Structure 1
Amino acid sequence: MTVERTVVITGASGGIGRAAARLFAEQGANVALLARGQAGLDAAAAEVEEAGGRALALPTDVADYAQVEAAAKATESTFGPIDVWVNVAFTSVFAPFTEIGPEEFKRVTEVSYLGFVHGTRVALNSMLPRNAGSIVQVGSALGDRSIPLQSAYCGAKHAVNGFTSSVRTELLHRKSRVHITVVQMPAVNTPQFSWVLSRLPNHPQPVPPIYQPEVAARAVVHAADHPRRKQYYVGASTVATILGNRVAPALLDRYLARTGFDSQQTGDKASPDRVNNLWQPADGRRGHDYGAHGVFDDQAAARSPQTELARHPALTATALAGTALGAAAVLRGIRRRVSS
């Protein structure tokens, strides 16, 4: 399917944003790529062109509203009106809250929350006068169920959910045909675990089950095409986590207190010279492209049956029911582990 539309993606140099850019390009879209690192942007732009789209690489720090606004203007000057805006860009710190400095916490919040606010504001400035367009927020199961060692990131993702719900009701009030939706993600094999600022003794890892970024990217593109739903869930683990937290949050607190530290680290000691991207792009200093995938390819699933089912409205109830049963089984297992 060829769709000649203009798409803006923040955090487009790696991970989910990078994979989504390729899929939009395969549809024939014009894709504006926003990120800080030039090496990643250049490689992403080449992939977009190779896939059949047109690319515009725009070095942008989403924490700075003026830079985001300038990127939107450059996009419209090159490609015309923005049809889809996808907010993905984030950064994080893996450490206990008491080991995260105030400026570090502020930086994570400015990128991972205010970056979404800035992107949404700029997108609405373009879309509301035309009464058309879709905004996709890349969320996380951690925006409903927080875990230890990621207080800044979890706080930002909770904030994105609250902010987006408020904006959605305002759009509904004005009967706007601009739509905003959230795609709640599971653990994804992205480069973040190689470049996130970490004070953990061992190499950080996503909490299994892990999915490839293409699984997440397919959900993003589907949400852009069908943005009327409030949110989409990617992966059975996301649905189980969110449902489980609604049913037994205190039980999950105790379970995560016991398991959440070890499950976010591999058995390998962290390298003393590991790079981090909190203040500067990682690919800018190392001079190479990290790509869409992280280092957990051998553990990551390339498909999600739950996500495939959830794309079809008639099957969504069946998918949720099956996942709810799975969540109940998970909770029973957690109860046994916590009480043992």
Structure 2
Amino acid sequence: MKKKRIEIVVLVLAITSLIAVGIVIFLQGFVLKTEFKKEEFTSSDPPNVESLNLTAPGDDAESKIDFAVNLYDIACENWKNLDNAAMHIKSENEMMGAMVIGYRYCVKNLEEYYYLEYSHIPEGGNPFMEQIIGLFSASSTKFALGKYTDSSMEQVYGRRTIKPVPKVKLDEETNQNVYFADWTECEEEIEEKFVFNKNQSGKYFQTEVVITKDTILTANIKRVEPKTHYEKDEEKIPMGYWEIVLELDPAEDKAAAIVLPKLREGAGNKAYYSKFVETMQIWDNGYFKYFKAEDTWGGGTMGAGTTLLFETYFKYDEYSCDPNNYQYMLETKEAALAAKKDGRVD
């Protein structure tokens, strides 16, 4: 989720540059709206761990905020400590009639971290803007990106391809996307390692937007009664979850402390965040089920701004946690280890 924020900023700036020269005045008459088919993600059943048996907080704001922060911190720590886990993430951002769709897949274990991201502009939007956006911002709108690191590496290896343009096709029988990417002319990207497993020091946070008692403006807590069961010693145990909706203080020394400097790198020094709404669902046993981020910003070059929408679905089943079941994951690992051997990544 982290790097995508800046990539979308670059996309918006490309569009606003076109506004400056008056091109959009002509293009606005060609905005098309249509429904397009896309893969739908779902969360898996929770890990086989007993419930925390939490009780609902009081009706006062302070009790709700305390409850939300405590459960969020528990879920972050639980994610870090899991031996095997995965996330499926989708994003949708409409830019002047063109919809940019993103799909991401993360798989981690005690030794390795795999990441794949695909971004494309589906047919059915503004055809002129689709072409222009792809021309000016192909590396952030029409690309495939793979990353890999493990316990023997000090950095994260990445590779991005835009030529030929990666394709996405939905297999309607399986409701799963099939991807077509050629990595022959990919560009390598190296970044610093981050916390993802229990063998590392430091804390894991699900989002770079700061969530603490000092950054929460309002917290709404809803208890969702059990519908899912998990097996424990041949006994079926009911498992409900908590839904927490947080509105955060967007001030630069509050929730935006980490993300605002990155936003301004791409959108200009006057850019600002105006609203953060983070929705999380956490199982009774303290493990993430679902996380939605709706982050609104404005004040960019030529008045640029938008709402960034990301939805994360957490997976704990054996199939989802196996990198063999994802296109290009093992190939990305092979490329990363070759780069390490050649000294291109530490």
Instruction: Please state which structure has a larger fraction of its residues in strand.
Output: 2
Instruction: Please state which structure has a larger fraction of its residues in helix.
Output: 1
Relative contact order higher in (CA < 8 Å, ≥ 6 apart): 2
Common topology (TM > 0.5): no
Q: TM-score, normalised by structure 1?
A: 0.23
Q: Bigger radius of gyration, 1 or 2?
A: 2
